[in-house]
Structures are given as structure tokens and as C-alpha cells.
Amino acid sequence: MEGFEPIDDDEVLYRRVLEVHFDRTVRATPDPQAMRPIAQDVDGLSLKRARYWTAEQVSRGRPGKTYFVAHLRAGSVRSLLVATRTLTLRPDDPDVPNSEHGHCVIPELVYATRGSDESESFQRLLASTVHEVEGPFRTPA
């Protein structure tokens, strides 16, 4: 089903990044905190697939807040290795309630273990694979 099919290595994935986690004058990639799971990331770090979403759509967050959108290649995400584990990408399952078209997760990065050494290593590596950042985008108040 379109929007829920397996993710190709050449696909671009988007991650919404709070303004405080990216300063273009300091570095080209977001701070690793931008890849830290938040409370809603119970089944994995949330990403949107560029073939179904625009950066502007992904940037919409809390009213009055400013965001950037980080671009990652699926193959680069999958190639990351910490100890003997790699990251995987799982599209939402259309048969599960609240599944979202064009949404996927990295199941190895979840809120419950966000502070573990392994999770923090993956967060640093993931931030370093960002190949482009769009924005800033301000969500209307």
C-alpha cells in the first residue's frame, strides 16, 4: 500500500528539529539532541518520508515555535553501526490504529532508553549523516 511500503536506501527522510538544536553559523548539521527521542517516540524515532511530505508540512509544530527540517538518506541511516547493532527503518503499519501515511520510525531509538550510551551514540551518528537542513519555519501562533 502506497505510503506504507518498504523504504528504499535512496529515499530522503525528514526529521523536524527545534530551533535550539540547529545553528547554521556553528555547524552544518543539527546538534545530536535533535535526534533524541521525545515522549511521543515510544515505538521509535519519528521520521517522515520526503516522497509523501514536504519540508514545510513536516516543520509544522507547536504554535509560535520555530523549526528546521533535517534531511537524511535512508541508506545512510541503515549503515550506522554501534557495537554490533545497526539502525533499521520501519514504515507505519496501515492495519494499526493511528498509523500515518508516509511516516516511519527507527525502532532502536525510543524514549524509554534515550539516555543509554548506545542510544546517545546513535543520536550523534545520526545527526552527522544529515546532508541538508531547510528552514527556519515558524509555526503560526
The pLDDT of 89-106, averaged and rounded, is: 93
Q: Has this prediction a pTM greater than 0.75?
A: yes
pLDDT band at 133 (very low <50, low <70, confident <90, very high): very high
Average pLDDT estimate for 90-118: 94
For 40, the domain range is 12-138
What are the backbone angles phi and psi of residue 67, rounded to the nearest 5°?
Answer: -135, 160
DSSP conformational letter for 26: T
Domain-embedded: residue 81: yes
- Tell me if 41 is assigned to some domain: yes
Answer whether residue 7 is part of any domain: no
* Distance from C-alpha of 58 to C-alpha of 75, rounded to nearest angstrom: 21
Q: Tell me which of 36 and 84 has the higher pLDDT.
A: 36
Per the domain annotation, does 2 fall within a domain? no
CA 129 to CA 74: how far, in whole Å? 10
- For residues 61-69, average pLDDT: 95
Specify if 106 maps to a domain.
Answer: yes
| Confidence grade of residue 81 (pLDDT, cut at 50, 70, 90) | confident
- Residue 85: the pLDDT is 86
- Rounded to an integer, what distance in angstroms lies between the CA atom of residue 24 and that of residue 50? 22
> pLDDT grade, residue 97 (50/70/90)?
confident
Q: For position 130, what pLDDT does the model report?
A: 97
Overall average pLDDT of the 78-83 stretch: 88
134 lies in a domain? yes
| pLDDT score at 69 | 98
**Residue whose C-alpha cell reads 537524511 in the numeric block:** 72
- Give the number of domains in the chain: 1
Per-residue pLDDT tens digits for 6-37: 999 999 999 999 999 999 988 889 999 999 99
CA atoms within 13 A on the CB side of 60: 5
